[in-house]
Copies of this chain bind each other. A is one copy, B any other.
Amino acid sequence: MKVCRRETFNAAHRLFRPEWSDEKNREVFGKCSHPNYHGHNYALEVWVEGEIDPLTGFVIDLKDLKHLIHEFVSDRFDHRNLNLDCPEFEGIIPTTENIAKVIWDILREQLDPKFGLEVQLSETEKNKVFYNGK
Contact assessment for B92 and A124 in the assembled complex, using a CB-CB cutoff below 8 Å = no
Check A58–B95 contact: CB distance below 8 A: yes
Flag whether A110 is at the interface (Cβ < 8 A). no
Residues of B within 8 A of A12 (CB): 12, 36-39, 81
Q: How many copies does the complex hold?
A: 6
How many chain A residues have a CB neighbour from B under 8 Å?
Answer: 60
Whether B81 contacts A38 by the Cβ 8 Å rule is: yes
Question: Given the interface contacts A52-B97, A79-B34, A81-B37, does A125 sit within 8 Å of B1 by beta carbon?
Answer: no
Binary interface profile of A, 37-51, with partner B (CB < 8 Å = 1, else 0)?
A: 111110000010000
Question: What 10 A-B pairs come out closest when comparing CB atoms?
Answer: A39-B39, A57-B95, A36-B81, A57-B93, A31-B79, A12-B12, A38-B79, A12-B39, A2-B130, A12-B37
